[in-house]
Copies of this chain bind each other. A is one copy, B any other.
């Protein structure tokens, strides 16, 4: 019988579809594509904070990035923009492959978890709204680690919380930088190639799938092949 393994999923863009934010950005910027620029700026600020090991609330980072996007595009945002952004982020749908992939892993006996830069109350509400909260054994936030992804300490914290050695834990993400941090901590990396996403060439994941079901099947197959 094989040893216990766990699969830790990233949340934003990996399981939840940020495309649902497009109407809000269309309203503010007259350009639904502004949501991509905003999220890229959010990640840029977060990865910089991870590099300098300085912690900030990810909601605060998202609001700051939105103010930068507005400044860059010379757009005046309404005063209630932080509250409206937060409300929209809490109401994202899951991609259609998420529930099946999680069920497939759980049926095969793997532990499932979520790990995100979002604050814990935010991710709990997000996963509940998306109807998938019940499919996770653990829901974790970087808040508890005190440092943002992709700082390797975050992934070490997650493995410890799951009571597993790092090499028994897979990280599944649509972001190469997230896989890079996980692998630096000794976890195993599985990349889901959502549209527009590319793996990090300096941290090649063991698994690359076109969707989460492919990724889940590959994880189960590799586990079966392990004595």
Q: Which residues of A contact B (CB under 8 A)?
A: 44-45, 47-54, 56, 61, 64, 67-68, 71-72, 150-152, 176-177, 180-181, 184, 196, 198, 200-203
Copies of this chain, how many?
2
Instruction: Give every chain B residue within 8 A of A68 (Cβ-Cβ).
Output: 198, 201
| Pairwise interchain contact A150-B48, C-beta atoms closer than 8 A | yes
Task: Please indicate the chain B residues that have their CB under 8 angstroms from the CB of A64 in the complex.
Answer: 201-202
Residues of B within 8 A of A203 (CB): 52
Cα A136 to Cα B50 in complex, Å, equals 31
Contact (Cβ within 8 A) B48 A200: yes
Q: Are A184 and B54 in contact, with the CB atoms below 8 A?
A: yes
For the A-B complex with A44-B44, A51-B151 known, give 14 more contacts whose Cβ atoms are closer than 8 Å: A45-B202, A49-B180, A49-B202, A51-B150, A52-B150, A52-B151, A52-B152, A53-B152, A53-B184, A61-B202, A67-B201, A68-B198, A72-B196, A72-B198
User: Is there an interface contact between B198 and A48, defined as CB atoms closer than 8 Å?
Assistant: no
25 A-B pairs (CB sep. < 8 Å)? A45-B200, A47-B47, A47-B48, A47-B51, A48-B150, A48-B176, A48-B180, A48-B181, A49-B180, A51-B51, A51-B150, A51-B181, A52-B150, A52-B151, A52-B152, A52-B184, A53-B184, A54-B180, A54-B184, A54-B202, A56-B202, A64-B201, A64-B202, A68-B198, A68-B201
For residue A151, which residues in chain B have a CB less than 8 angstroms away from its CB?
51-52
Let me know if B72 and A180 touch, CB within 8 A.
no
A114 to B50, CA, bound (A): 25
Question: A181, B52: Cβ atoms under 8 Å?
Answer: yes
A67 partner residues in chain B, CB cutoff 8 A: 201
Q: How far is the CB of A134 from chain B (nearest CB, A)?
A: 33
Contact present for A71 and B181 (CB under 8 Å): no
| A169 → B minimal CB distance (Å) | 17
In the complex, A74 Cα to B222 Cα: how many Å?
Answer: 31
Which residue in chain B gives the minimum CB-CB distance to A155?
B52
Bound: A75/B150 CA distance, A? 30
Residues of B within 8 Å of A48, CB to CB, are: 47, 150, 176-177, 180-181, 200, 202
Shortest Cβ distance from residue A49 to the other chain B in the assembled complex, whole angstroms: 6
A50 adjacent to B49 (CB under 8 Å): no
